[in-house]
Structure 1
Amino acid sequence: MGNLFTRIKDVIVADLNETLHQKEKQNPIAKLNQYLRRCEQETAKVGKLVERQSQLKDEFRSEHSQAMEIAEKRKYQAEIALKAGEEELCQFATAEYQQYSERAERLNASLAQISEQLQELERKHEEMKRKLKDMQLRRMELMGRENVTRANIGMNQMLESDSYTNQSNLKFKDIDTYLDRLEQKVTSYFKGHTIDAQVAQLEKEMETKENNSLNLIKE
């Protein structure tokens, strides 16, 4: 039986939550909050992409610096080998110099492209953050207007509406009627018990008198 009541309670709670959810979806402010949450999520995603792009830029810069450093080193080594008459070593160092020079040029082009892309992403990300902040401020303004509107509706209904006043009077009359009925029941109950007590006392006194009379006669 307990499990049955638990299941019934769970069903009722689920239905209530679904009803509240449906009402929440119909609320314009709730819809706006949902939209802003999506905007916040998208802004956060773009922020992570900007951070990743910045890391890539640093990695490309580091690779470019290393390639340039090795290219300059191989160029110097090729010159030394040439002066020393080490033709084979000179050719090897020269080939290494060409490879690292080409790599440095390619990395430099990629670095320029990455930097340009990063700058564009940062610009758009800042624009997204400004737009999001504007929408959040706009939401606060709308929430303030909604609060004032709801408060004014409630006050107007209470202070100016005859139907609202009539409903309130009816509620007070219902309470008065209920209290009157309750007082009548209490009074009736009290009187009933008082009468019972009085009659019981009279019976007791009469019984005592009869017993006294019988005792006198016997004497």
Structure 2
Amino acid sequence: MSNLFTRLKDSISADLNDMLDQKEQKNPIAMLNQHLRSCEKEVKRVRELIDRQYLLKDQFIKAYHEASEMAARRQHQAEIAARASENELQEFAEKEHDDYRQKAERLKNAYDTTVKQLDQLEQKYATMKRKLKDMHLKRMELMSRENIANINNRMNTVVHPERAFGQSFSKFEESELYLERLEQRVTSNYHHNTIDARIREIERELEQNKAN
């Protein structure tokens, strides 16, 4: 049964990858934008984790100072109890002193480790931001190339329609032919109308001459 689920999972994963590959081939800019949005979310999430680590660092140093102060207080109290021959009180104060001292040491180590880790995290975060900025620049370059390619394709379609449509005419050429036919029709109508008008004028002149 587990093998069946594994094969099913692998099959679904393969189909999903194929679908993403096809989508990327059809619209690489859209896929790149999707990747960028994902990276931006990840950078934001890392920043939030780093800020949370800064809060922990502040809590560590605060707890360290408190533990150190308590260790010093218990040590002073143990000395007073020893001078007063209060053995049980002295023993309690000394035990508390050891506990707070060990706690302070652990907190100091945790604080030092956090400081080193934060330095490394900040460097990695700066690298992530730089790479994200580079990705944005790459996207702009790709968009520019895609735009130029689209412009060239449209220009080639207009200037060399046979490359895109074989022997058929482009819309541009069709428009030119339509304008030529329209111009011929208007010119022809003009000449016809002009001739008809001139003939009518001549006929009127002839009739007037006969009447005279």
Question: If the TM-score is normalised by the length of the shorter chain, which range does it land in?
Answer: 0.5 to 0.7
Partner of 1:166: 169
Partner of 1:63: 63
The structural deviation recorded for 1:170 is 2.7
The structural deviation recorded for 1:68 is 0.5
Moved more, 86-95 or 40-49: 86-95
The one-letter amino acid of 1:154's match is: R
The structural deviation recorded for 1:117 is 2.4
Moved more, 94-103 or 142-151: 142-151
TM-score, L = length of structure 2: 0.65
Moved more, 63-72 or 40-49: 40-49
Q: CA RMSD in A?
A: 3.0
* Alignment partners' CA distance in 1, 2:66 and 2:140: 52
Partner of 2:74: 74
The structural deviation recorded for 1:160 is 4.1
The structural deviation recorded for 1:157 is 2.4
* Alignment partners' CA distance in 2, 1:137 and 1:79: 68
Deviations 1:103-143 (A, max 9, x none): 11111222222223222222211111111111111111111
Partner of 2:115: 115
Partner of 2:143: 143
Instruction: State how 1:1-219 maps to structure 2 within 5 Å.
Output: 26-161=26-161, 166-167=169-170, 168-171=172-175
The one-letter amino acid of 1:140's match is: M
* Alignment partners' CA distance in 2, 1:77 and 1:23: 74
* Alignment partners' CA distance in 2, 1:173 and 1:156: 19
Question: Which protein is bigger by CA-based radius of gyration?
Answer: 1
* Alignment partners' CA distance in 1, 2:75 and 2:121: 38
* Alignment partners' CA distance in 1, 2:85 and 2:56: 43
Partner of 2:8: none
TM-score, L = length of structure 1: 0.63
The structural deviation recorded for 1:175 is 8.5
The answer to whether the 8 A contact 2:23-2:31 is kept is: no
Q: What is the total number of aligned residue pairs between the two structures?
A: 160
The one-letter amino acid of 2:89's match is: L
* Alignment partners' CA distance in 2, 1:75 and 1:145: 74
* Alignment partners' CA distance in 1, 2:115 and 2:41: 25
* Alignment partners' CA distance in 1, 2:123 and 2:163: 58
Shift in alpha-carbon separation, 1:163–1:102, aligned structure 2, 3 A: closer
* Alignment partners' CA distance in 1, 2:180 and 2:42: 59
Moved more, 164-173 or 85-94: 164-173
Identity level (%): 44
The answer to whether the 8 A contact 1:67-1:101 is kept is: yes
Shift in alpha-carbon separation, 1:176–1:160, aligned structure 2, 3 A: closer
Shift in alpha-carbon separation, 1:140–1:45, aligned structure 2, 3 A: same
The answer to whether the 8 A contact 1:81-1:90 is kept is: yes
The answer to whether the 8 A contact 1:60-1:107 is kept is: yes
